Copies of this chain bind each other. A is one copy, B any other.
Amino acid sequence: MTDTHHPPLAVTVDLVVLTVREDELQALVIRRGEAPYKGRWALPGGFVQPDEDLETAAARELQEETGLPRERVHLEQLASYGAPNRDPRMRVVTVAHIALAADLPVPEAGTDAACADWRTVSDLLSNRTKLAFDHTQILRDGVERARSKLEYTPLAAAFCPREFTIRELRHVYEAVWGATIDPRNFHRKVSKTPGFVIPTDSMTTREGGRPARLYRAGNAQLLHPPLLRGTD
């Protein structure tokens, strides 16, 4: 702590905002209107302000991009990325976060940034698409974090509306993991894991057959035992 020389350096937050739409895992991206990487998709993000904590900055950016009420979104820090040339304009260290939310109306109402849109993760991570900066890597890391957190935390509920059926919860797992899950064993497991989901009185919400019970997210932080992906 002796250096008092400050070559220009900025700290930003970038967001991997994930949701499940149309039975697929999708991420929020913004089309860049200016160089560098003009025309490419990028993750939403922005500068950390002088009086802001990192999480506060991430929450503010999230609010600006999606307009979602803060309490309906799960937000957590992912990792920081600081390769010296990751932004050609200047040294920028970014603290990436992931945000998980239920299916959102449409992001069109982006305040300043050009056009925001939901794109499937499989599209964004395929060779067909190149995101701006190092955002492909950040997205990849964020998706992997989400995938593994579904195993041992009740985080899947963050992708659901406040009240949801077991079926909807299962669809989240299937979309995020890209696997199919036995509905009957899933039902038993979820309803028996303490604190995962809390049954409500309401039933209905038909999706075809017999009415399903509605549940709310429980207060467990960790799943005992975890729900594991197949050991493929």
Contacts and interface: CB of A to CB of B under 8 A. Distances in A.
Interface of A: 1, 3, 6-11, 34, 46-48, 50-54, 77, 79-84, 89, 91, 93, 95, 224-225, 231
A100 B98 CA distance: 27
Contacts of A3: 10, 47
Closest 7 A-B residue pairs measured CB to CB?
A54-B82, A80-B80, A80-B95, A7-B50, A3-B47, A11-B93, A53-B83
A48 to B, nearest CB: 7
Nearest to A86: B53
Given A3-B47, A11-B11, A84 B231 contact: no
A147 to B, nearest CB: 13
A213 B95 CA distance: 45
Given A11-B93, A54-B93, 20 more contacts: A1-B47, A3-B10, A6-B6, A6-B8, A6-B10, A9-B9, A11-B11, A11-B82, A48-B82, A48-B93, A50-B84, A50-B91, A52-B84, A53-B83, A53-B84, A54-B81, A54-B82, A80-B95, A82-B95, A224-B231
Contacts of A1: 34, 46-47, 89
A131 B210 CA distance: 58
A53 B8 CA distance: 16
Contacts of A48: 82, 93
A136 to B, nearest CB: 17
Contacts of A52: 84
Contacts of A9: 6, 9-11, 50
Nearest to A45: B1
Contacts of A51: 84
A13 B230 CA distance: 37
20 contacts: A3-B10, A6-B6, A6-B8, A9-B9, A9-B11, A9-B50, A11-B82, A11-B93, A48-B93, A50-B84, A50-B91, A51-B84, A52-B84, A53-B82, A53-B83, A53-B84, A54-B82, A54-B83, A77-B79, A225-B231
Contacts of A11: 9, 11, 82, 93
A78 to B, nearest CB: 9
